[in-house]
Amino acid sequence: MYELGDVVEMKKPHACQTNRWEIVRMGMDIKIKCINCQHIVMMPRREFDKKMKKILEKKSEEK
């Protein structure tokens, strides 16, 4: 399952031809930020679940 700070790949690439997104907010809606151009997209969790392909990097756990 994905968490805040994870880097994910979506089914369709962004207009800047990058397909790496960082999850920056989670709740009823999920906000993701493009790693390349810093564009932010907010979408409902159900839509995000449909459009997410896979988790590329898990957030490093700092203790």
pLDDT exceeds 60 at position 62: no
When divided into structural domains, the chain yields a total of 1
Q: What pLDDT sits at residue 36?
A: 95
**Residue 53: which domain range?**
6-57
How does 2-24 read in b/e, with b if 16+ C-beta sit within 10 Å?
beeebbbebeeebeeeebbbbbe
pLDDT in tens, 7-55: 999 999 999 999 999 999 999 999 999 999 999 999 999 999 999 999 9
Answer yes or no: is 32 within a domain: yes
* Ordered alpha helix ranges (H), 1-63: 45-51
Answer yes or no: is 45 within a domain: yes
Q: Which residues contact 48 (CB under 8 A, 6 or more apart)?
A: 30, 32
pLDDT exceeds 80 at position 60: no
